[in-house]
Chain A
Amino acid sequence: MIGCGRVGSSVALRLAREDWEVTAVDEKEEALGRLGENWTGGFVVGHGMDAGVLRRAGIEEADAVVVATNGDNTNLVVAQVAQKRFDVPCVVVRILDPARAEFYARQGLHTICPTATAIDELTGAVRTHKDAEGVSA
Chain B
Amino acid sequence: MYFLIAGGGKVGSNVLKTLLRLGHEVTLIEQRLDRYGRLEEDFEHQVQHGDATEIYVLERAGIARPPDLVLALTGDDEDNIVICQIARHGFGVEKVIARVNDPRNQAHFDLLGISPTVSATSSIMALIEHEVPEHDLVHLLELRGENLEIVEVQLGKDSPCAGKLVEALRLPEGSRLISVTRNGEAEIAVGSTELRPGDQVLAILRPGKEDELRRVLLKD
Contacts and interface: CB of A to CB of B under 8 A. Distances in A.
Contact of B78 (A49, A51, A84, A99): A49
Contacts, number: 53
Given A77-B78, A99-B56, A103-B55, A85 B111 contact: yes
Interface stretch (A56-64, A68-76, A126-134): A68-76
B108 A76 contact: no
B104 A99 contact: no
Give the interface SS of chain B, mostly helix, strand, loop or mixed.
Answer: helix
B85 interface: yes
A77 B54 contact: no
B195 to A, nearest CB: 35
Interface string B82-116: 10011001100000000000001101100110000
A100 B82 contact: yes
Interface size class of B (residues with CB under 8 A): 20 to 34
Given A73-B79, A100-B82, A49 B108 contact: yes
Contacts of B145: 85
Nearest to B80: A73
Contacts of A85: 107, 111, 145
Give the interface SS of chain A, mostly helix, strand, loop or mixed.
Answer: helix
Interface of B: 53-56, 76-79, 81-82, 85-86, 89-90, 104-105, 107-108, 111-112, 144-145
